[in-house]
Amino acid sequence: MITIYLPKSNQFPQEDHQRAYDELIDQIPFHQLRCTCGRCGDLIRHGSYTRKIKVSLGYQRLKINRVICKACNKTHALTPDWLIPYSSILLKDQVQILQAHLAGESMEPIMAEQPVIDESAIGYIIRQFKRHWLPRLTAFQIPLDKNIVPACFRAFGRQLMQIKCTPNLLFS
């Protein structure tokens, strides 16, 4: 998996996530992408798959591009930094939930703004955060702010709230 982080891009699209994703992919200099095998410049487009994400109006399908390394034949999904691997809830929404939890605030405004995010999803996010991420962020003194993506990759080699330890590279 390769997470694309472009600080100047719209990190958290408000509506058309597919258009934002496609614009992000169009900005990538593919010759600079690095595979987990260490080779640079050997990745070529290799299809796509569809992922569902939760947005304020319900679910939206997002077509995620894949690349394959000509040297080692490994395939990688190209995910934007505003997606969390294996999660349908966007990074911005999970950060908002975690910030509210840490501040002792109610989750009602979040659920009102995002009807597809219910108490069960919020409880799961908070449990996973406490179990996997709070001790790590505390130990490395990483705040939940706009620099969370590069900080988590530097310290842990994966996206915030990425629970599975799938290899994930940050391309910025």
Instruction: Dump pLDDT digits (tens) for 10-39.
Output: 455 656 788 888 888 888 888 889 998 888
Only one residue has tokens 């330890």, namely 165
Distance of CA 143 to the CA centre of its chain: 17
Tokens of 60: 């939206």
Give how many domains the chain has, as a whole number: 1
The helix/strand/coil state of 80 is strand
41-71 per-position pLDDT tens digit: 899 998 999 999 988 878 889 999 999 999 9
Tokens of 27: 């900005």
Domain that holds residue 143: 1-172
**pLDDT, position 8:** 58
73-106 per-position pLDDT tens digit: 999 999 998 899 889 999 999 999 999 999 999 9
